[in-house]
C-alpha cells in the first residue's frame, strides 16, 4: 500500500548528533574523541560537519564512546542518505513542474482561471486542473489542442480583433462545465414545443435566465452562462456534450431581445446542423461574416421568435410601427415587445425610432 512520505526541508546528518553529544558531555572534547577513535581531528570534524558518512567502523566506536547503539548510528546515516535523495528528487520534480507551468502560461490565461476560483497555491494541482479543463493528458496535448482549435475556430474570423488564447480558454471551460452537467433525455422532435415555451418566458421577462435554464434542462439541453474575457467577442456557442446538445451564452449584450435571439440562434444550429453531425461545433463571434449555415440559424431564430404568419400580420395590418402598435401586436401574439422592436429595427430600418420599450433583461 502506498503511503504519503513526508520529505524534510533539510536532511539531518548523524554528525549533528555527535556534536550535540559532545556539547552535553563535559568530560570529553572533539579532540579527545578523535584520539579515542585513533583518527585525525580533521577527519572527525568532517564527519561532524556532514562532509563524511558515519561508517560501520565509526558507528561501533560511537557506541563504545556514547553508549548509543551502532545500529542506531547506521540507521541515522541511512535515513540521511534517503532524505538527501528524496530532496534531490523533489527539487528535480519542482523544476519540471515550473517548466511545464511556464509553457502552460503561454497558452492559458492564468488570471482568468484564478479569478474564476479554479486555481490553488499548489502548482502540481493547478497543472492537473488546467489539463482537466482543456481535456488533455499532457503538456504536449495542450499545445496540440491549442493549434487544432486555433485552426478550426479562427480561420474564418481573420478580420476580428480577438485573443485566441482567451477565446480557446472560454471554449474549453464551457465544454468542461457542460461535461459535468446532468440533464434530461433530449429529443429533436420536442424542439418546436420548447421554442413555444421559451417564447412565453421571454414574453413575461421575469427571472428569464433561471427559467430558461430549467426549461432547457427539462427538454434535455444543457445551458451554461460563462463570462467572456477581454477580446473575446462571443455571443453564443452550441455543441454536443455526451448525449445532449449544449448551449453557452456570455450575455455580452444584456438585453432580452439579444439574449432571446442568440439562444434561438444556437437552438437553430442544434435543430438544423447538429442533428446530422454531432461532431461539429458552432461558436458565434460578433460581426463575423455571414455564411449559409449562420443564415440558416438566423432564420430559425427569427421565425421561432416571431412566426412568419405573425410577422406578415404586422407588415400588412399595422400601418405605423411605434410603441403603441408594437404593444398591441405584442399582446395579441404574446411576444415580448423588445423582440418585436428588435426585428423591426433590423428588417425595416427603424433604428431611429424613438421608443420607451424596455429592452432590459429581468
- Model confidence pLDDT, tens digit, residues 299-312: 999 999 999 999 99
Over 90: is that where the pLDDT of 218 sits? Answer: yes
Q: Are 199 and 215 in contact (CB under 8 A)?
A: no
Mean pLDDT, the chain, rounded, equals 90
Q: How many domains does the chain have?
A: 3
User: Residue 23 burial by CB count (10 A; 0-12/13-18/19+): exposed, middle or buried?
Assistant: exposed
Verify that 187 and 287 share a domain, yes or no. Answer: yes
Verify that 284 and 320 share a domain, yes or no. Answer: no
Verify that 251 and 173 share a domain, yes or no. Answer: yes
Does a structural domain hold residue 132? no
Verify that 270 and 334 share a domain, yes or no. Answer: no
Question: Can you read off the three cell numbers belonging to residue 175?
Answer: 465544454
Does a structural domain hold residue 315? yes
Domain range holding 37? 15-103
Q: Where does a domain end: 103, 123, 152? A: 103
Q: Are 271 and 300 in contact (CB under 8 A)?
A: yes
Which pLDDT does position 254 carry in this prediction? 83
User: Residue 118 burial by CB count (10 A; 0-12/13-18/19+): exposed, middle or buried?
Assistant: middle
Verify that 221 and 295 share a domain, yes or no. Answer: yes
CATH number at residue 29: 1.10.260.40
- Share above pLDDT 70 across residues of the chain, in percent, rounded to a whole number: 93
Which pLDDT does position 155 carry in this prediction? 47
Which pLDDT does position 287 carry in this prediction? 54
Does a structural domain hold residue 2? no
Over 60: is that where the pLDDT of 359 sits? Answer: yes
The structure's pTM equals: 0.76
Verify that 80 and 195 share a domain, yes or no. Answer: no
Number of neighbouring beta carbons within 10 Å of residue 100: 18
Verify that 69 and 188 share a domain, yes or no. Answer: no
Over 80: is that where the pLDDT of 135 sits? Answer: yes
- pLDDT of 75-120, one tens digit each? 999 999 988 888 888 888 889 999 999 999 999 999 999 999 999 9
Does a structural domain hold residue 144? no
- pLDDT of 331-353, one tens digit each? 999 999 999 999 988 887 666 67
Q: Where does a domain end: 247, 273, 302? A: 302
Angle formed by the axes of helices 70-107 and 139-154, to 10°? 10
Q: Where does a domain end: 63, 88, 103? A: 103
Mean pLDDT of 48-75: 94
Verify that 171 and 91 share a domain, yes or no. Answer: no
Which pLDDT does position 160 carry in this prediction? 58
Verify that 206 and 291 share a domain, yes or no. Answer: yes
Does a structural domain hold residue 318? yes
Does a structural domain hold residue 118? no
Verify that 57 and 95 share a domain, yes or no. Answer: yes
Does a structural domain hold residue 4? no
Verify that 60 and 95 share a domain, yes or no. Answer: yes
Verify that 71 and 200 share a domain, yes or no. Answer: no
* Best CA proximity match to 338, nearest among 202, 222, 232, 150: 202
Mean pLDDT of 286-294: 72
Which pLDDT does position 288 carry in this prediction? 54
Over 80: is that where the pLDDT of 2 sits? Answer: no
Does a structural domain hold residue 120? no
Mean pLDDT of 57-65: 94
- pLDDT of 9-57, one tens digit each? 888 999 999 999 999 988 899 999 999 999 999 999 999 999 999 999 9
Amino acid at each position: 500500500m502506498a503511503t504519503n512520505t513526508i520529505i524534510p526541508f533539510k536532511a539531518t546528518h548523524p554528525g549533528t548528533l555527535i556534536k550535540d553529544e559532545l556539547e552535553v558531555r563535559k568530560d570529553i572534547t572533539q579532540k579527545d574523541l578523535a584520539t579515542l577513535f585513533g583518527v585525525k581531528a580533521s577527519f572527525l570534524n568532517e564527519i561532524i560537519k556532514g562532509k563524511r558518512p558515519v561508517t560501520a567502523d565509526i558507528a561501533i566506536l560511537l557506541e563504545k564512546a556514547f553508549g548509543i547503539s551502532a545500529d542506531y548510528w547506521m540507521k541515522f546515516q541511512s535515513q540521511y542518505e534517503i532524505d538527501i535523495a528524496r530532496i534531490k528528487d523533489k527539487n528535480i520534480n519542482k523544476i519540471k513542474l515550473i517548466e511545464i507551468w511556464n509553457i502552460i502560461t503561454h497558452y492559458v490565461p492564468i488570471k482568468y482561471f484564478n479569478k474564476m476560483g479554479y486555481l490553488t497555491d499548489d502548482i502540481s494541482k493547478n497543472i492537473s486542473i488546467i489539463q482537466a479543463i482543456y481535456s488533455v493528458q499532457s503538456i504536449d496535448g495542450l499545445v496540440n489542442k491549442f493549434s487544432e482549435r486555433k485552426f478550426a475556430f479562427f480561420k474564418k474570423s481573420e478580420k476580428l480583433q480577438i485573443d485566441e488564447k482567451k477565446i480557446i480558454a472560454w471554449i474549453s471551460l464551457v465544454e468542461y462545465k457542460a461535461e459535468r452537467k446532468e440533464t434530461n433525455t433530449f429529443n429533436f422532435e420536442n424542439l418546436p414545443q420548447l421554442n413555444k415555451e421559451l417564447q412565453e418566458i421571454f414574453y413575461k421577462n421575469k427571472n428569464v435566465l433561471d427559467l430558461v435554464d430549467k426549461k432547457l434542462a427539462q427538454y434535455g439541453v444543457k445551458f451554461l452562462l460563462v463570462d467572456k474575457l477581454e477580446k473575446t467577442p462571443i455571443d453564443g456557442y452550441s455543441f454536443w456534450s455526451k448525449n445532449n446538445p449544449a448551449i453557452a451564452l456570455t450575455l455580452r449584450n444584456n438585453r432580452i431581445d439579444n439574449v432571446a435571439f442568440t439562444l434561438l440562434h444556437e437552438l437553430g444550429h442544434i435543430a438544423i446542423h447538429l442533428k446530422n453531425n454531432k461532431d461539429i461545433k458552432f461558436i458565434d463571434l460578433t460581426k463575423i461574416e455571414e455564411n449559409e449555415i449562420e443564415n440558416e440559424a438566423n432564420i430559425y431564430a427569427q421565425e421561432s421568435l416571431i412566426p412568419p404568419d405573425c410577422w406578415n400580420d404586422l407588415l400588412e395590418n399595422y400601418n405605423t410601427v411605434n410603441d403603441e402598435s408594437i404593444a398591441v401586436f405584442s399582446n395579441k401574439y404574446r411576444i415580448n415587445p423588445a423582440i418585436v422592436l428588435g426585428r423591426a429595427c433590423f428588417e425595416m430600418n427603424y433604428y431611429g425610432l424613438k421608443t420607451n420599450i424596455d429592452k432590459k433583461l429581468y
